């Protein structure tokens, strides 16, 4: 099996602890890290020790290289678009970290650059492949929960933050940092090219910067479930990731386990509306209710968004580059997500302080 040669641009938390960790793991059989670029010498030394690779302080030093099959753009959020476009213009295949860009217009510039150079562009939205999400999708597709009325998604906890992810000027804030995971899933579940109607609230609660750390969004679209999405840094009781309500049952899931409870319509008495007062066996009034034959299921999940999902993501990238397989994560769809985030920011302007 041919191994693809990778250049990682940025060896910070994502570059080192997600991408680098996967490429250095025994799960990786298809890639080898050939180059790491980082401005900090200590990180270059860490990369050299881990991957036995070349290291550089400035990515411009490798733009003329012809021996790299894939560039992983793990730079700061506000550099994602310009760095990706630079590499695309020089003929490199690029995986760019989330957020795809700060603005939807920049997403389109990246897409155009990839098409012009006839190279691959993909966004690292690996949570699409996370075991909890894939299993939730399977349960919804099975129809056991009936028609879905509402999907609540919650990526919340309690934390204070004071790093660059708190700064609007750096593309920070929970909407762009954490948001790409649940927002990509929400739009995937809505399965529509139309933009949903959005009502939203952004707030700064525990952040020491000027970017939001609380985000509440309602998405409404005709003939689709209501999406209620929360990303909060002030929720000490976030006991679910998904809560789904349907006509035949409901589901509650964390990233580690799923519980769902439903009934089979074929096993219950058909009902029609009775306009008269309901009577009990003795002729007296009774409450409108019944005992349904509930089926319950509990499933413990193995694998996370940072191991199994990364493997699945990079398997898809490899299959695309070597065999022409279709990309699961499509840049045009992620552009839609960035446009949605722009609308949420438009509804909730926060003063830029830094």
* Third-level CATH fold of 128-305+337-347: Dihydrodipicolinate Reductase; domain 2 (3.30.360)
Q: pLDDT tens for residues 83-101?
A: 999 999 999 999 999 999 9
DSSP percent split of the chain into helix, strand, coil, nearest 5: 35, 25, 40
Q: What angle do CA 277, 283, 284 make, to 5 degrees?
A: 65
3-state secondary structure of 195: coil
| Biggest alpha carbon–alpha carbon distance for the chain | 89
Taking each continuous run of H as one helix and of E as one strand, the counts in the chain are 10, 14
* Equal CATH topology for 4-124 and 128-305+337-347: no
Helix axes 180-190, 331-347, angle to 10 degrees: 110
Separation of alpha carbons 40 and 205, rounded Å: 32
The number of angstroms, rounded, from the C-alpha of 164 to the middle of its chain's C-alpha atoms is 20
CATH of domain 4-124: 3.40.50.720
pLDDT value at position 283?
A: 82
Instruction: Tell me the domain boundaries of the chain.
Output: 4-124, 128-305+337-347
- pLDDT tens-digit profile of 265-295? 999 999 898 888 888 888 888 888 888 999 9
Which stretches of 213-332 are assigned E, i.e. beta strand?
Answer: 214-220, 226-232, 242-246, 249-253, 257-262, 295-300
Place of tokens 């397989």: 325
pLDDT, one tens digit per residue, over 250-273 is 999 999 999 999 999 999 999 898
């Amino acid at each position: 099996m041919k191994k693809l040669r990778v250049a990682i641009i940025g060896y910070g938390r994502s570059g080192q602890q997600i991408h680098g960790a996967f490429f250095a793991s025994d799960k990786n059989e298809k890639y080898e890290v050939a180059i790491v670029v980082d401005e900090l010498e200590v990180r270059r030394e860490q990369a050299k020790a881990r991957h036995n690779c070349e290291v550089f302080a400035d990515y411009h030093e490798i733009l003329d290289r012809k021996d790299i099959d894939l560039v992983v753009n793990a730079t700061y959020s506000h550099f994602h678009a310009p760095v990706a476009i630079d590499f695309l213009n020089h003929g490199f295949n690029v995986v760019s970290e989330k957020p795809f860009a700060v603005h939807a217009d920049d997403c389109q510039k990246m897409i155009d650059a990839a098409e012009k150079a006839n190279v691959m562009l993909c966004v690292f939205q690996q949570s699409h492949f996370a075991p909890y999400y894939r299993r939730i999708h399977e349960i919804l597709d099975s129809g056991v929960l009936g028609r879905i009325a509402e999907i609540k998604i919650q990526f919340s906890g309690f934390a204070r933050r004071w790093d660059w992810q708190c700064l609007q000027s750096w593309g920070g804030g929970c909407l762009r940092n954490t948001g790409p995971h649940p927002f990509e899933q929400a739009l995937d579940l809505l399965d529509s090219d139309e933009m949903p109607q959005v009502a939203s609230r952004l707030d700064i609660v525990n952040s020491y910067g000027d970017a939001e750390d609380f985000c509440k969004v309602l998405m409404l679209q005709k003939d689709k479930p209501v999406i209620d999405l929360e990303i909060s840094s002030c929720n000490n009781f976030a006991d679910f990731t998904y809560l789904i309500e349907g006509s035949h049952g409901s589901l509650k899931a964390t990233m580690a386990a799923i519980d769902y409870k439903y009934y089979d319509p074929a096993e219950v008495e058909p009902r029609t509306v009775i306009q008269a007062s309901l009577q009990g066996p003795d002729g007296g009034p009774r409450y409108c209710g019944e005992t349904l034959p509930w089926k319950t299921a509990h499933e413990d999940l193995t694998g996370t968004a940072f191991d199994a999902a990364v493997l699945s993501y990079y398997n898809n990238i490899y299959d695309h580059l070597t065999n022409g397989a279709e990309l699961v994560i499509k840049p045009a769809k992620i552009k839609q997500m960035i446009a949605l985030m722009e609308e949420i920011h438009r509804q909730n302007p926060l003063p830029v302080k830094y």
